[in-house]
Structures are given as structure tokens and as C-alpha cells.
Structure 1
Amino acid sequence: MRMQFSEDQNENYFFSQPHQPFFILAFVNAIVTMIVFLLAYKGYLFLSLSPTNFHFYGLTYLMFTPVFLGFLFTTFPRFTSTEAVAKKSYIHIFTVLYFGAILFLLGSIVSPFLSAIALLLVFYTHVRGFLILKNMYSTTTMEDKHDIFWILISMGFGIFSHFLFIVAQIFYMPLMGLATEIAMYLYLFLLTFSVAQRMVPFFSHCMNEKNQKLLKTVFLLLSFHILLEGIYTNSSFLVDFALAYVIVKELLSWELPFPNPNPLLWILHISLYWVPVGFFLGGFTNFISLITDIHFLALDTHSLILGFVFTILIGFGTRVTLGHSGNIMHADKWTTLLFYWTQVVVAMRILVSLVSSMGWNIMVLFDISVTAWLVMFIFWAVRFFRVLIDGKKLTP
């Protein structure tokens, strides 16, 4: 009886807060999808969709989206001063998403039909999550809805890009480019930046007056970027330079205390500094590709998504995991090393693109970059999964 009670207690703890099961699922998916992608890219495994599309879908909707859902289900009630998400609701979404992820991974290898069912299941959870957030936005009595409005808008674009991916994969492949562009810029980037510009200055005790036009300006420039890329590939370089300028000007006005001795803060600051760097690199490489035959193997999106979205995911994910488990809000040597390792992951992927642009063989570097990614997520899991599963208290 005592063992049964202990197991029930652990099970109840695991589902006691929304971020716990969603973070676990996202990190497991990050490891499994990257291994499958590596095998498929090297020709050891045949998939029912292209390795590139598998890579995009697996990381966008099976890794980043569960993290977004877990994070927003935990924090959005505070943002909106509304009631917490009902446990029954987020467990239902998690369960369907869990089976959808398994079906997608299996279906991609053995059956296009199973893969198609998986796409619909995962899409269903995305829509359900959005509707929960939309209901909070609709019922909040807060007067200042500026930040939560843009979080909701970007989540809506995530659903739209998700829908376009499914249509492209099943019916009309030419839509895949548009689905990817919207997902990268108006979903992954805009949602993360909307949260970051609200929370990072607050955590850093920077109380400068907020620029209410920032997110609208960024949204319009991102939309123009997507439009230009739809008309002619690599023609968006001027917009990328404009985004780099607008955002670096804004970051400087925040006067973030960098370098900061607190790893839980400097990891967030580094991620933000990657935003103008990523857009500048995007503008530069797009211009080079436009006037020459040199191509950079998606350096623009990887420098932005890995440099900013991935880095801040690790930073915020660690912060939420510690803060909501009763652990001391402190990054020990292991955690600090993981934060440094995020930049190794980013640097290795950028190096792969640069070497590719020179026409050299990238397979050794590609293997190293994937290994760096796997090491990052495996070691994070070793350190923090017990905290998420049963509330383990970490020694300082």
C-alpha cells in the first residue's frame, strides 16, 4: 500500500502543473526527432516525407510548440489575471499530443497514412491550446492587453502555418515554403520575442518606459519579409537589415545589465542579443545569395531560431522548472555549463552553413552539430527531468 501511495503521489505531482508534462514531452521529442533526422539525412533511413520537412515539423510542432503550451498554460493566467487552466483540459491536450508525436515518428518511417493521422492529432492539440488562451484573453478585465494580444496573435499564426504544412504535405507541396516562413518568423520568433520583451526587462529590473509600437513595427517588417521571399527568394535582405536596426536600438534603450554575474539572467540577455545578429546575418547572406550562386544552407533562420528561440527556451525552461518546484532560483555549475553549451550548439550550426557555402563537404561538421544538440538535451534531461517528474530538490 505504501508503494502504491508513493506512485500515486508522483503521478499527481507530474501533472500538477502544466509545464511539467509538456516540457518532458518536448525534450524527448527534441532528442528522438534529431536522431531520426540524422539517420534520414545520411541515407540510413527512408521517411514518408522529406528529411527537411520532417526536421522542420518535428522541431516546430513537436518540440517548440509543447514548450510554448506548457509555458503559456502556466504563465498566461498570471498575465491575464484569470483562473488557472483546468488540469483536465491540459492533461487531455498532453495525452493527444503524446500519441500524435508517437504516430508521427512511427508513421514517418512505416506509413504515410499514420503520419497523416498524426498531423491531424497534433494540429487538434495546437488549436485546443490556442482556444484556451483566447478564452483567457477574452475574459480578462485587465486594461493593458498589449503584450498578451501579440502572444495570442503569434500563436494564431502558428496554427495557420501548421494548417498550411498539413495541406502542403498531403495535397499541394508548393505551399511548404510559405508554411515554413510563417512558422519561423510570425510564430516561433514573434511569440518568443513577445514574451521576452515583456519578461526579460522585468527580471533584469530594467523599468524603462516600454515602446508600445515595437511589436507592431516588428510584425509589419516580418510580414514584409515573408511577402518579399514569396515574390523572389533572398530579396528580403533590406527588411532583415531594418529589423536588425530596430531591435538593436530597442535593446540598447533597455540598458540591460550585461555582463551579468547571474547565469539565469545572462542566458536571457545573450538570447536577445542574437536577435539583431541573426537578422543582420540573414540580410548579409540573403544579399550574397541574391547576387551570386553562393548559398548558406538556411544560415539566416538557424542563427535566429537557434541563437534566440532555442537559447531563451533553455533559459526560461530552466527558470520555470526551478521556480515552480520549490528549488532555489540558482544556476549551479552544471546548469551554467549547459547555458554555455547552448552557444556551442548555435556556433556549430552556423559553422555548418558557412562551410556549406564554400562548397566543402559538411558531413563531419553536420554530425558534430547534431551531437552537440543531443548532448545539450540529454544532459538537461539528466539534470532536470526528476525535478519535473517528482519535484526533486537539487543540492546548491
Structure 2
Amino acid sequence: MRMKFSEDQDKNFFFSQPHQPFFVLAFINAIVTMVVFLLAYKGYIFLSISPTDFHFYGLTYLVFTPAFLGFLFTTFPKFTSTDAIEKKIYIHIFTILYFGAILFLLGSIVSPFLSSIALLLVFYAHFRGFLILKNMYDTTTMEDKQDIFWILFSMGFGVLSHFLFIVAQIFYMPLMELATEISMYLYLFLLTFSVAQRMVPFFSHCMNDKNTKLLQTVFVLLSFHILLEAIYSNSSFPIDFVLAYVIGRELLRWELPFPNPNPLLWILHISLYWVPLGFFLGGLTNFISLITDIQFLALDTHTLILGFVFTILIGFGTRVTLGHSGNMMQADKWTTYLFYWTQVVVVMRILVSLIAAFGWNIMVLFDISVTAWLLMFIFWAVRFFRVLIAGKKLTP
């Protein structure tokens, strides 16, 4: 359904809806942080924190978190039947995130002190965003609050993991592994899955009864995964196999109409199919690593985060951008090719891990995978930034 859109755009169109500035910031950060990480990983520049920690923090809290906030600031009022967020409130949070991102990128290169200030700024914005969503949850009069509870709950784990990262980085580094595990599974994955299980069946006109225990079951299993990893690295493989089975069976029960001729739908379906595959590969590689010396260079988390979270981010981000700008809710050839390219990014990163497991030199393939990531975000920006910034109408 095409949304109503005024042709009389004001001069501040860029800030007229929450998702616009936050999406632009997230996509610019996706490009810049990956370039800096590539240069640091290859030894061309030296960072005040490890390249791995920079990579994790940059993607989790400078890319995915602004994208999440932009999406939820736009959709959560609809989910909760509450008033839209005031412009001055979300602009304030955006401004803090903007300066926090700049300070983090500069501080990581030139000054640990600036980097520490940046961590606090970005955390403040993240925490404030969580409180805004919590206020909407607390004031809603809706009776069925299950889905919005899990969205808010997982955002809370994002704040917790963010806090643990800062404590680990500044005071106590052994906390870093726990911060990473919580952020990957109880924040990035659980929040995205909570939204997906609500919206994808609805968009796909799937009429099967809702599994009210699904998110609770997934949360318990994810918690056991984190606990086992805290006890002994790679010991979570049984839980990964169970998660693959539980979520795979649920996706089959939904009877998603795939393959689907509508790219705006099949990109969402593909992202969901990566979930059981990601957990299965995670279980398999963790088991192999447990009984051998073979290491797979984080294949499990990259398959899950890129295959599912990244892919559905592009799908939902494109859908929201089109639907809230007065453009037709349909994917042209350019957009469709971008959706195909998301899978190139995922597959290339999986190949990097597999090559590393064989002990071969990964640098050429690593460069190709990073280039694929950069091209994805650059071409998406070329296509959609003019929509987000100025409300332009797209032509096929």
C-alpha cells in the first residue's frame, strides 16, 4: 500500500522522520568503519584498540544500533499504538550518535582518551533510545504486548552488552568475550528475530496460528549457548543444533510463499532461511573446533549476523525507505540486484572462514569480501540516500 506523502516538502525533510538520519548515519558508518578496519587489519594504520574490538564495536553499535533505532523510532509507535516520537527527541539522540561515531573513529586512530569519550557518548544515546522505547511500552493500552516485550527486552540486552564492552575496554578486558556473546545472540539476533517473526509472516499473508512460546524458547536456548561458551569455548554445539531444529521447524510451519516473485518479500524469506543454516553450521564448526585444532575464524557468528541480520536489515531498510517516502512499494532492477548482492557478501565471508580453517592465506579473499561489503553499502547509498535526504521520487 502506498503511503500518503506531501509534495510540499519542508526544508528540513532529512529530519522529518526518525529513520532518515539514522539510516544515513548507519550506512556511512558501515563504509567508514570497514575501510578503517581493513587498513588496520593489513597493518597500514595502528589503532588504540585491537582491530577485532574495533570491528565488533563499529558494526554493532555504529552500524546496526543506529539502524535499529531509526527503524524502531518509526515503527514502535505503531506497534504500541502510542504517539509518534517528537522530532527534537530523536534529533538529540541522532546528534549524540553522530558526534560519538566521529570521536570513536578519530580516537581509535589518534587518542585512546577520545575513544573512551566516544564510547560514553554512543552508550548514552543507546541507553536514551532504550528508555524512549520503554516509555512507549509502559504507556501502551494494548492487551497483547508479547512481541513488543521481546523487542524491548532484547534492546535491553543491547544496552547491557554495550556497558560490558566499555567496562572491558577501559577496566577489565576478560569481560570482552561475555559482552560479545550477549551482543551477538541476545541483542543483534534476538531483536531482529523478534521483529521478523512478527512482520515477515504478516507481509507474506501467512495465516497459520502464532507460536506464542517461540521467542521464550529461543531466548532460553540462546542463554544456554552463552553459558556453555563462558564455561568452555566451542562447547555450545549441542544448543546450536537444537536452535537450528527449533527455528527450522517453525519456518516450515509458517509456509512462507518462497520462491516469491516479489523481491521485497523473498529477501526477507532468504534472511530467515539463514537462521537455521547459521546455527547448524555453528554447531558443526564448534564441534570440529572442540575436538581438533581447526579454527573457522568466527564462521558461526558471521553466518548468522550477515546471513540473517545484515540481509534483513537491507530488506527492511529498503522497504521502510520506499514506503515512507511516497515511492511505489516495489523493487526495481537496481534494488533487486542489490538484494542479490547481499548474498554475495554473505557467501564471500563464509568462504574466508573456510579458507582460514584449511590454513591457507586468506588475504586476497578477505580483500574481496570487504570490497563486496563496501560496494553493497555504496550502491545502496547511491540509490536511496537522495530518497532519505530529500524525498526524491525514484524512476525505474
Q: TM-score range by the shorter chain?
A: over 0.9
Q: Distance in 2 between matches of 1:11 and 1:292?
A: 61
2:3 counterpart residue number: none
Amino acid corresponding to residue 18 of structure 2 in structure 1: P
Amino acid corresponding to residue 207 of structure 2 in structure 1: M
Amino acid corresponding to residue 314 of structure 1 in structure 2: I
Q: Distance in 1 between matches of 2:356 and 2:364?
A: 12
1:5 counterpart residue number: none
Q: Distance in 1 between matches of 2:214 and 2:324?
A: 30
Q: Distance in 2 between matches of 1:235 and 1:11?
A: 56
Q: Distance in 1 between matches of 2:106 and 2:125?
A: 19
On the 8 A contact 1:319/1:329 being kept in 2, the answer is: yes
- What's the offset of the Cα at 1:19? 0.1
- State yes or no: 1:372 paired with 2:369: no
Deviation string, structure 1 residues 205-256 (Cα, Å, up to 9, x no partner): 0021000000000000000000000000000000000000000000000000
On the 8 A contact 1:10/1:390 being kept in 2, the answer is: no
| Counterparts in 2 of 1:112 and 1:10: CA distance versus 1, 3 Å | farther
- RMSD of aligned alpha carbons: 0.8
2:390 counterpart residue number: 390
Amino acid corresponding to residue 122 of structure 1 in structure 2: V
Amino acid corresponding to residue 48 of structure 1 in structure 2: S
- State yes or no: 1:362 paired with 2:362: yes
Secondary structure in 1 matching 2:12? helix
> Unmatched 5+ residue regions in structure 2?
1-7
Q: Distance in 2 between matches of 1:302 and 1:233?
A: 17
1:280 counterpart residue number: 280
Q: Distance in 2 between matches of 1:138 and 1:50?
A: 40
- What's the offset of the Cα at 1:12? 1.4
Deviation string, structure 1 residues 254-286 (Cα, Å, up to 9, x no partner): 000000000000000000000000000000000
On the 8 A contact 1:40/1:46 being kept in 2, the answer is: yes
- State yes or no: 1:191 paired with 2:207: no
- What's the offset of the Cα at 1:125? 0.2
2:207 counterpart residue number: 207
| Counterparts in 2 of 1:9 and 1:254: CA distance versus 1, 3 Å | closer
1:84 counterpart residue number: 84
Q: Distance in 2 between matches of 1:113 and 1:13?
A: 36
1:145 counterpart residue number: 145
- Higher deviation after alignment, 9-18 or 172-181: 9-18
- State yes or no: 1:242 paired with 2:245: no
Deviation string, structure 1 residues 133-162 (Cα, Å, up to 9, x no partner): 000000000000000000000000000000
Where do residues 118-137 of structure 1 align in structure 2 (5 Å cutoff)? 118-137=118-137
1:23 counterpart residue number: 23
Q: Distance in 2 between matches of 1:124 and 1:10?
A: 30
On the 8 A contact 1:130/1:156 being kept in 2, the answer is: yes
1:217 counterpart residue number: 217
TM-score (norm 2): 0.98
2:32 counterpart residue number: 32
User: Which stretches of structure 1, 4 residues or more, deviate above 6 A after TM superposition?
Assistant: none
On the 8 A contact 1:30/1:63 being kept in 2, the answer is: yes
Amino acid corresponding to residue 45 of structure 1 in structure 2: I
Amino acid corresponding to residue 39 of structure 2 in structure 1: L
On the 8 A contact 1:10/1:389 being kept in 2, the answer is: no
> Unmatched 5+ residue regions in structure 1?
1-7
Secondary structure in 2 matching 1:63? helix
* Residue correspondences, number: 389
Q: Distance in 2 between matches of 1:272 and 1:9?
A: 36
1:4 counterpart residue number: none
Q: Distance in 2 between matches of 1:358 and 1:167?
A: 35
Q: Distance in 1 between matches of 2:196 and 2:10?
A: 32
2:329 counterpart residue number: 329
- What's the offset of the Cα at 1:11? 4.3
On the 8 A contact 1:326/1:393 being kept in 2, the answer is: yes
2:5 counterpart residue number: none
1:178 counterpart residue number: 178
| Counterparts in 2 of 1:259 and 1:9: CA distance versus 1, 3 Å | closer
- What's the offset of the Cα at 1:82? 0.2
Q: Distance in 1 between matches of 2:275 and 2:389?
A: 33
- State yes or no: 1:48 paired with 2:48: yes
- What's the offset of the Cα at 1:10? 5.8
